[in-house]
Amino acid sequence: MRCPYCGSTENRVTDSRSAEDDNAIRRRRECLDCGKRFTTWERTEFVPLTVIKKDGMREPFDRSKLLSGLMKACYKRPISVEVLKDKTSEIEWELIRSGETEIPARTIGERCMSVLEELDQIAYVRFASVYREFKDAESFMNELRKIMDSSAKSE
């Protein structure tokens, strides 16, 4: 492993622990040349997932884009980054376990909405407003009514 600070390949592992529900290993390393510490991650490599966009274009699945979307929806909401990272891992593992190598973006978006609906209704509405591309205030209000109806039923 190359040190990101000085480029040396001489380092030692100072700490290893399981992460992301035992689907990854997080390692803290110390460079033996410059003394700085850095973190590396090990994950099982699978057949790469491909996302089929709305326009039919295909692109490699990128977990950082998934996490970024969840973080934008949860901006200034009482949800920790760790919770969002865990939810990102859950969604990614669901996609991997499905056995499909090409996943429609719609499937990922719907799963994100489901996760956000459980976590925080404001984050859900934010995500839905972008994902569903509401054309006017009425379609937005219809989505809010659904949330309010489901909240009233659960009380």
In a shared domain, residues 70 and 133: yes
What b-and-e string marks burial along 58-71, b requiring 16 or more CB atoms within 10 Å of the CB? eeebeeeebbebbb
In a shared domain, residues 23 and 62: no
pLDDT in tens, 20-35: 667 789 999 999 999 9
Q: Answer yes or no: is pLDDT of 155 > 70.
A: no
Q: Answer yes or no: is pLDDT of 154 > 70.
A: no
* Residue of 138, 63, 143, 151 whose CA lies nearest to 108: 63
In a shared domain, residues 71 and 97: yes
Give residue 108's domain range: 50-154
In a shared domain, residues 84 and 105: yes
pLDDT in tens, 44-100: 777 789 999 999 999 999 999 999 999 999 999 999 999 999 999 999 989 988 989
Tell me the CA distances in angstroms from 77 to 62, 84, 121, 132, one per residue in order: 24, 12, 10, 21
In a shared domain, residues 69 and 128: yes
Report yes or no: 85 and 20 within 8 Å, Cβ to Cβ.
yes
Flag the least confident range among 3-7, 39-43, 108-112, 145-149. Answer: 145-149
In a shared domain, residues 27 and 63: no
In a shared domain, residues 85 and 21: no
Residue 3: inside a domain: no
Q: What tokens were used for 50?
A: 């491909």
